[in-house]
Amino acid sequence: MILIHNFNAGPSILPEEVYQQASRAILNLNETGVSLLSIGHRTPEFVSILEEARSLVRELMELDDEHEVLFLHGGASMQFMQVPANLLAKHGVAAIADTGVWSTKAIREAEVFGKVEVVCSSKDTNYNYIPKDFAVPNDAAYLHITTNNTIYGTQWKEIPDTGLPLVADMSSDILSRKINFNRFALIYAGAQKNIGAAGVTLVVVNRRILGKIKRKIPTLLDYRNHIREQSLLSTPPVFAVYVAMLTLRWLKNNGGVAEMEKRNREKAAMLYKAIDEMPLFRAHVAAEDRSDMNVCFSMADKQLEPKFLQYCTENDIYGIAGHRLAGAFRASLYNALPRESVEHLIKVMKAFSAQFG
């Protein structure tokens, strides 16, 4: 039952059944009489939850045996530094594509550990496109891209093939479309959009990329330790891992990544079409780079924007305001957002246009 249409960019909407099951587990996990929040993280109950989550990631992403699945703390932001701590030697080079604020944070952290070459940037137009045809230094340790730029609504539709090991921040489009995930040396994603609740970060890493640099890495930063301890190096975020497992189960039971991609494409196409057709609204991203996850738009008459925001609130639409750096509006259409919510938003935009256009 939809009470509010939740377009928040993250933490974002999750499937209704995940809310129900997670609530029940807090009171009584699987009829054990114990709350999920109060079980030991090394008990068979929790270890089987962690193992199920891991194996669902492997299955949904169709990972090969070289890739390890880790559930870590610290958000995607922690990975901005954990990646170079493990992969970038002091005199090595990291090639990084600058497609927005999250990329610039990855650049800043990598510079703490080695050299960075910013191989392309769309900063000139406030990040409203994805750069194409750029060159990379062929001695770079890796190329880092942000596959979906949550704030600006751009998405790499084609994953660049440069010959360098690929590292990707997939926080806002993981498991939303079919990609050959095995092509990546390392993928990371904060859970709070397509995977589950905030508090856990998914890292998928190819074992072969590790151990190539001489730097001493602090224990908790070294991916090899997390692999060895199977994500139990310190107490894992038990609740967030459980919610991730439930969300991954839901994803599998709803047709997996291919079905999510189909639904996401339809939702996004429907909304972009409506925006393009209504003179009051406009999308600023180049058509071929438009994100299926975050649809950013503004109004021809800026003065109407607060009015439209208020109108949305009155019509049960939540989380539609743009990021504070981009302003205007952003509708996030992650996997769990039902198609009916997009239809409702379009109806509300049309009604507003009829009244104020």
- Catalytic positions, please? 102, 169, 193
Written as six digits, the tokens of 150 are 């949550």
Minimum Å gap between C-beta 66 and ligand PMP is: 25
Q: Which residues contact 104 (CB under 8 A, 6 or more apart)?
A: 98
Q: Is the peptide bond before 84 cis (omega within 30 degrees of 0)?
A: no
Indicate the residue among 170 and 345 with the shorter CB distance to ligand PMP.
170
Measured at the CA of 107, the angle between CA 193 and CA 114, to 5 degrees, comes to 130
Measured at the CA of 299, the angle between CA 293 and CA 300, to 5 degrees, comes to 135
Written as six digits, the tokens of 188 are 């990371």
Indicate the residue among 190 and 236 with the shorter CB distance to ligand PMP.
190
Indicate the residue among 10 and 237 with the shorter CB distance to ligand PMP.
10
Q: Which of 75, 256, 338, 357 binds ligand PMP (CB under 6 A)?
A: 75
Cβ–Cβ contacts within 10 Å for residue 279, how many? 11
Report which secondary-structure segment, H or E, holds 252.
Answer: helix 238-253
Indicate the residue among 21 and 86 with the shorter CB distance to ligand PMP.
86
Please give the residues from 194 up to 233 whose contact with ligand PMP meets the rule CB under 6 A.
none
Minimum Å gap between C-beta 72 and ligand PMP is: 11
Cβ–Cβ under 8 Å, residues 95 and 144: yes
Minimum Å gap between C-beta 134 and ligand PMP is: 20
Minimum Å gap between C-beta 41 and ligand PMP is: 21
Q: Which of 71, 102, 272, 329 binds ligand PMP (CB under 6 A)?
A: 102
Minimum Å gap between C-beta 190 and ligand PMP is: 3
Question: By CB under 6 A, which span of 75-83, 154-162, 250-258, 260-268 interacts with ligand PMP?
Answer: 75-83
Site string for ligand PMP, 33-72 (x = CB under 6 A): ----------------------------------------
Cβ–Cβ under 8 Å, residues 36 and 243: no
Indicate the residue among 172 and 247 with the shorter CB distance to ligand PMP.
172
Minimum Å gap between C-beta 150 and ligand PMP is: 3
| Nearest residue (beta carbon) to ligand PMP | 75
Report which secondary-structure segment, H or E, holds 96.
Answer: strand 93-98
In angstroms, the CA 190 to CA 193 distance is: 7
Q: Which of 21, 146, 154, 247 binds ligand PMP (CB under 6 A)?
A: 146
Instruction: Specify which residues 72 forms β-bridges with.
Output: 201
Residue 76 interacting with ligand PMP (CB under 6 A): yes
Indicate the residue among 171 and 335 with the shorter CB distance to ligand PMP.
171
Q: Give the SS3 label for residue 92.
A: coil
Site string for ligand PMP, 164-193 (x = CB under 6 A): -----x-xx-----------------x---
In angstroms, the CA 254 to CA 19 distance is: 16
Q: Which of 34, 77, 137, 266 binds ligand PMP (CB under 6 A)?
A: 77
In angstroms, the CA 92 to CA 78 distance is: 20
In angstroms, the CA 268 to CA 287 distance is: 12
Q: Which residues contact 181 (CB under 8 A, 6 or more apart)?
A: 61, 62, 63, 67, 187, 204
Minimum Å gap between C-beta 132 and ligand PMP is: 20
Give the sheet arrangement for strand 142-146, strand by strand.
Answer: 67-72, 201-206, 184-190, 166-169, 142-146, 93-98, 115-121
Indicate the residue among 102 and 113 with the shorter CB distance to ligand PMP.
102
Encoded amino acid at 110, one letter = A
Residues near ligand PMP (CB under 6 A): 10, 75-77, 102, 146, 150, 169, 171-172, 190
